Amino acid sequence: MENRLIDNETSFYSKAEEYWKEIPPTVDGMLGGYGSISLIDINGSKKFLQKFLGEGEGKTRPGCALDCGAGIGRITKRLLLPLFRTVDLVDVTQEFLDKACSYLGEEGKRVENYFCCGLQDFQPQLDRYDVIWIQWVIGHLTDEHLVKFLRRCRNALRPDGLIVVKDNVAYEGVVPDEVDSSVCRDLPLLRHIVSRAGLCIICEEQQQNFPEEIYQVHILALR
């Protein structure tokens, strides 16, 4: 649907890359000036994820996680490294991954890979990840690329693994953002993309206690 809004796919991606290259490698930079909501965000994510983690039947194991559109590793540092033995990061902006090395500190030794790559081109290793966390980045992919990326993620999951998408949702339709070259989709479209990728939504929640002036943020657990 948003492909009508994206008339030139090449410039959609290159404009986003240019935008992120100019953004400071800080928590505030990752959150568009809303660095103050980072803790609320992380606590909401932790509560959501912990419902699925454990060692029993059907539980997702705390082995290896992939942070997609990881930026400087804000989520890796506060959510994934405390819960998983190892983490990989993937982001299109090399400067953010460079910063992640120092930002993550001592615990960052448990990061196995820093992949500098657009998600539209990224091929996660088959059968490697217990959790694939995709937050505040899906709007940078076209519908087609997002469907294909989610399919590759499904193939990269270990048994009982989980994909989590946490992102802004529009009230209706697709809202383009010319500044960072992204789109914001409504929930029916997002659910349709998930189903086209051959995935099921096993849990869906709205993040609470975010400022009223920003988009609603939803968390979807997929298998």
Where do contacts with ligand SAM occur on this chain (CB under 6 A)? 16, 20, 30, 69-71, 74-75, 91-93, 96, 118-120, 135-137, 140
Least distance from ligand SAM to the Cβ atom of residue 218, Å: 14
Nearest approach in angstroms of CB 55 to ligand SAM is 28
CA-CA-CA-CA torsion for 111, 153, 16, 187, nearest 10 degrees? Answer: -120
26 marked ligand binding residue: no
d(CA 34, CA 29): 8
- Closer to ligand SAM by Cβ: residue 125 or 200: 125
CA distances from 120 to 12, 97, 147 (A): 12, 18, 10
Backbone angles phi, psi at 70, to 5 degrees: -70, -25
63 is in an annotated binding site: no
Which helix (H) or strand (E) covers residue 197, if one does? none
Min CB(58)–ligand SAM separation in Å:
27
Residue 176's DSSP bridge partners are 183
135 is in an annotated binding site: yes
Q: Given the complex with ligand SAM, which of 105 and 188 has the nearer CB atom?
A: 105
**Residue set of the binding site for S-adenosyl-L-methionine:** 69, 74, 91-93, 119-120, 135
